[in-house]
Every structure is written in structure tokens, then in C-alpha cells.
Structure 1
Amino acid sequence: MSTAIVGVTGVVGQEMLSLLEDSPLGEEPPRLVASPRSAGQQFRWRDESLTVEALDSDIDLSGIDVALFAAGGSISKEWAPRFVAEGVTVVDNSSAFRLADGVPLVVPEVNGEVIPKGPAIIANPNCSTIILLMALKPIWQLGPKRLIVDTYQAVSGAGIAGLEALEREASGGEFRQGEPFPFPIHGNLFPAIGEADEEGVTVEERKMLDECRKILSSKDLIVQGTCVRVPVARCHSLAATLLFGDEDVNRLSMAAEALKAAPGVVFHDGAEAPPTPGPLSGAHPVSVGRLRAPFADSLQMWIVGDQVLKGAALNTVQIAESWSRLS
């Protein structure tokens, strides 16, 4: 199985490259692709050095089975259809195709059955959506009607520029408007990730609603909340409240047992040791803690996941691995 990484020089692309070292997709060295200005850069992979190719009209796509895209929406819109036309399956980490008709939006542990055979575009969901659904899917059969989810999102969700902004401000440097944040981030937080629509809902908040509905095939599901950028380098945290249409005193224990058995989830029992983002940077599973039911018609939980890994690179690689087993 031959792979390529498009956008290998970015934060997510670098994680993809590292993950392929231990992946069944790593039977052959991946081809590294990025913008022409990055062509010629070299990166270590196992015990060899790989050279970045330019993504331009001269690129030869022959021999590539699956390409992992981590280069942003505009690049994906332009190049993903070209790759598919050449017989290459594309797993795209951008938002370009997530809500497009006919394009599966996939978290393998949640809806892996929709992964198609043969060349196609497969979309990777937004990072917060993935982290939420890893905790929600095991208890979905309990029938929540409404979700209230507040996210506390790390600066690396905005890429290298987000990390640089936090580091610069923390070391006494200046705040630079729009590079990439609208407000200072060191010693601060702000409830604005993306533009707000006419209803006051931001892009990030809208993604969770629309993507959860598509992945769960639940067009009437309500997901609402506030997405907050926080001065944490890595790992998103979510405070989720699930509301049900009835009261059930057994729901808490059923949810706990389901989460303990869920693949890709680490359940933290007891309120004294909840998961926190610092120690979980670099962890593959999503962690769930603070599970509680203060009222019999609801559940509440705290969820932490590395948004660069399970929220992006790892989920993309796992989709590609699942696709390869079908092909």
C-alpha cells in the first residue's frame, strides 16, 4: 500500500508522518508533498530521509493508493478531485468536503461502516466533533435528545501560528492582532473561534451541530454550546451535558459501563482525578471523567482528547487503514 501526505510540513502533517512509522500503511515510505516553496525539504522517517515534492502541475500521482490531506480547505478543493480522478483515495482533514453530499464523514469507531471501497474522497471531521463523538457513541443507545457542549480548545488547533502566538506572548512579546487570534491568548481566553453567523453562532459551534447530525444520521439532534480558546498548547477539553426525554436512575451506571468498554476511550472513575489536558498531550485515546447525573433526566461528563492526534492526524490515518482493509 503506497501513501502520500499532502501538507506534510504542518503540525498535523508531521504527526501523520510519525504515525505512519508504526502503521500497516507504512510498508513503503510515504511520498511527502507540500507547496512548491517547501519542495526539497527533507524529513526523517524511520532510518531514512524523505524529500518533499512540490504540489504542482508536474506532480506524478502514479503508484499512490491513498493520500492524507492536511493542507487546508482551498488546497483540498483544488487537488482532492484531481487525485481521485487519477485513482487515488483521499482522506481529507480540512472542512472542504465534510458536509458535501456523497462524501462520507468518518470516525472509524463511530460510523466506520460508511467508508467506501475504491477511489473516493473521505472527510475527517472537526477535532472537537471527533473528541465529543468518541465519548458520545458508547452511550448513544441511551437516547439523548439534546447536547449542551462547551469546548476549551488549545492553541495548536490554530496550527503552528497558534503555538507561536502563545509562546511569543508568554515570553513577554507583543500581541499581534489576527496572527492568528483576535484577542491576546497568554493569561487570557476568549469565546470566539471563527466568525459568528446571524444567529450569533460561531463557525466552530456550527460545525459540531452539523457534523454530529451527519455522522450519527440524526437530523433532529440538537447540539449547542460555546467554543472557547484557552492558553493551553495541546489537547481540547469539553464539558458535555446530555438531556433525555425521561428520568432513569439506572442511566448513570449504564453509561459508566459502556464507557469503560468503549474502544479508544479511557474512563476515569471518581471525581478526584479527572483527566486534564497537560498529561494527555500525545495520548491516542480520548479520556472521559466527571461522569455524573445530578438530575435523573440528564448526564454530565468531562472529555479530553489530543486534537492534533485523535482530533486530526490519528483519525485520518485510522480512516486510511480501515479503507485499506476494504480494498
Structure 2
Amino acid sequence: MQGWNQASRFAQQSFALWVLVFAGTAWMFPEIFRWIGPAVTPLLGIIMFGMGLTLKGEDFRLVFQRPGPVLAGVCLQFIIMPATAWIVATSLGLPPELAAGVILVGACPGGTASNVIVYLSKGDVPLSVTLTSISTLLAPLITPFLLWSLAGSWLPVDFGSMVLSILQVVILPIFLGLLIRRFFPVVVQRATKALPLISVTTIVIIVAGVVALNADSLGKTALPVILAVILHNALGLLLGYWGARILKLDEPRSRAISIEVGMQNSGLAVTLALAHLNPIAALPGAIFSIWHNISGPFLATYWSRKSRRKAARTKAAPTG
């Protein structure tokens, strides 16, 4: 089991590197990875099943104990990211497929990796876990509605079909994970040591598959998509933090909300784009998977050092 812990820790620490390596390989040798396309949906189901295995009752208890920060985080999540996605896509004049893909990323719930980043940032981890859980459970209705509202003029959006897809690939696997954790807690406790490694491996495979499917057009579309993703992610992190501060939340909660807003479930965006839009629309989600696992740890490092410096100044300050 110690080996699983070390492997999982290494996978998390080098996540962005592995995504870049496999994405680059898939671009140069797409024929090796094109088979992944049809497997993206079950692969995301595996990630969501793993999320269900890690959820506990106290993850939802916070909704009743501290409803204010939870409500603020959920509202900021589903206002800031869709709105900034539309602004970025429109401002950059992206083609309809790519614009819809950017908006789809913005309409998705927070990503599971955000909880680790909040921990490293000295943020409010219980709030982060609760926000990820609540936004994910709200996704079957909110995500299709936001995509239909903001991108329906660019591409046809089948609202009902998308709701069904999210229920199948997100809610059902999470529910199964919760059930298994409830009835087999000891087995699950041991198995969860391997979950980070499984999640990282699965996301790397998904990104490689999307890049392979778009290898022929990637040269023309890569630069505007990368720019859109960087702007979208940066605005989410920035506005999420200051939105929380304006609502008078303290520093740890503001950091948690910033990261929850800025880091999206890009795997879900990829899956929905492949199922309901087209492979090109999946590119923003794939690139977001790479970028937010670079920007998130960078921000976590900055905030962690800031907290240590503040603690050192407080300790060194004269008393009395």
C-alpha cells in the first residue's frame, strides 16, 4: 500500500508534465491514440466513480452549518465561468465550434483536483470539497441550460440528451461510489490510496485521445484556443477570489472559492463535446486540463509562501 501512496503522490506532482508529454505524442502520432475517442465516456465514469468513493456525509453537512459561503461559492462558480467564457470566446472571435467548447468548459462544475490545490494553498478544504460536490450534483440541469443559453446560437444544443448524458456519466457513477463506500468502508479505505493515480492516468488518456482526434487541425487552432483557455482560467481565479472578498469572506474561504471557480471539470466538458458537439469543440476542455494543472499549483505555491511569511512576521512581532 505504501507503493500506491508513493505512486499516487508522484502522479499528482507530475500531472501537468505527463499530460504535456502524451498530448505532444498524440499530436505527432495520432493514429496510436485515436481509438480512445469512443472510450472517453466510460473513462470519465471511472473518475466520477472514484469521486463517489471519497465523498462522506460531512461533505454535505457544511451546506447546513455554513450556508453562506457555500451559496456564494456555487453562485460565483456558475456566474463567473460561463460569463467570462462567453466574453473571451466573443472577444477573440473564435469559430463556433471552439467558442461552444470554451463555453462548455465554463458551464461545467468544479474539478476534483481543486481540493488538493486548495489544501496546498492553505485554503478552506472542507468548503472546497463541499463546493465540488454541490456543483457536480447541480450540473445535470445547470450545465446544459448554460450551454443552450450562451452557445445555442452557434451550434444546436440538445438539452434533454445532454441532461441524460450527465446523469449517466457523472451522477450514476458518483451514486454507485457512495453506495459502495457505505457498505464496504474498509475495502474502500484501502482502495482510495490508488484513486489519485487512477484519476491522473485516466485524464492523461482522455487528453491524448482528444488531441489525436484533432491532430490534423490542431496547428491552425492551437494558439487561439490556448489563449482563450489561459484568459478564461485567469479570470476565473481572479474574479472568484475578489468576488468572495467583496462578499466579506475571509482569506481561506476566498482562496477556496477562487480555486473552485477557476478549476473546472474539463473531463466532463470533453465528454459532452464529443458526444453532443464535435471533436473540435472538445479541444478547449483538453487544453484546460493541461493548463489549470499548471496555473493551480503555481497559485498554490504563491499563497502557501504568503501564508508562511505572514506566520513568520506574526511570530517575530514583539508582544505586550
Give the TM-score category using the shorter length: under 0.3
Q: Which has the higher contact order (CA 8 A, sep 6+)?
A: 2
The TM-score with structure 2 as length reference comes to 0.27
More helix as a share of residues: 2
More strand as a share of residues: 1
